[in-house]
Amino acid sequence: MAAARSLAMRLASGSRHFGPFLADLAGRAVQHRGVLVPGRRGPEGRSFPAEIRAAGLARVVAATFGRDAMALVVYVPEKLTGHGETVLVAGCEWLAHRGGMGIWLVGPDLHRVDTRYLKVPAAVRRLAEEMTESPDTGTVGVPPVAGRPHPGSAVERAMEAALAECDWAHGRAWNQTYQSADALFVMIRTDLMWVREKCVVELDGPEHERYAQMKRDLVRDRHLERDGFTVLRFTNQQVRGDLRGVLRHIREILQARRLGNS
C-alpha cells in the first residue's frame, strides 16, 4: 500500500495527475476495491467530489493508453423521451467541462435537443482538432487481436507476410500483452514478440515522433530491457522502404539470442 501510494505521488509530481486522488486510486487498486463513490471515505478519510473523480479518471484512462486526452463514445438509447434527451446531453456536457474529455454521441439522432449549440470546452476542441485521420492508422476500430497482425495496419500485415517466408522467424507472436516484473507498472502490449528469445519488435507510426509519446516509449522499453528483452524499433517508413534490411536486423538478433551470444 505504501509503495503504491508513494509511486503514485511521484508520478503525479511530474505530470497533470492530481496526487491525492491518484494515490488514493492506487491504494484502492492494491486492495482490489472500486473507485471511491460520494459519501464514502477513502484510506485517508477523504471523499473526493464528482468533479475531481471525473477529471482524475479521464487522465488515468488516457495515460493508460499512452494518450494525452480521452474521448468517450456514448451510445444513444433507442426511443428516448424529450426529458431523456435533455438529461443525456446535460450529462455529456458536464463530463466534457468537468472531466475535460471529448464526447462522441453515436446511434439514433436526437430530435428534441439541438446539439449544434452545445458549449464545447477549449480542451475538448483541441482534442477533436488533434484527432485527424492518419494513413497509418486508418479507421478507428477495436484493439488488435492477440496473435495476429492488426487488421488496420498495412505495415504489420506486410511484415507478417514477409516473416511467413522466413524459416528463422518461428515462434513469433503478434500483439501480445506482457506484465513487467515491476507489478506496479501497467501491462505492456507489444507489436511483435519472440518470447523464448526475449526479443520485442515495435513498428512505430508518426504518433511515436511526438515528444510525450517518445518519453512513454522510453520508459516502457526500459522496463522490458530490465526484464532481459532486446527491444527493436522500426518506423513505418523503414519497413516500407527497406523491409529486407529490417528483417536482416531482426534475424541477427534472434540468431545471437539462440546461440546465447546476447
CA distances to 162, 177, 200 from 234, in Å? 15, 19, 11
d(CA 118, CA 109): 15
| pLDDT tens digits for range 52-65 | 888 889 888 888 88
Tell me the CATH number of domain 154-258, given options 3.40.50.10190, 3.40.50.300, 3.40.960.10, 3.50.50.60: 3.40.960.10
Stronger pLDDT, 125 or 230, i.e. the higher one: 230
> Which amino acid makes up residue 129?
E
| pLDDT tens digits for range 201-221 | 999 988 888 887 888 888 889
Whether the per-residue pLDDT at 45 is higher than 50: the answer is no
Bridge-based pairing state of the strands 102-106 and 172-178: unpaired
pTM above 0.75, yes or no: no
- CA geometry: angle at 53 spanning 9 and 19, to 5°? 10
Whether the per-residue pLDDT at 244 is higher than 80: the answer is yes
Q: What residues does each domain of the chain span?
A: 2-48, 71-130, 154-258
Strand partners, 75: 106
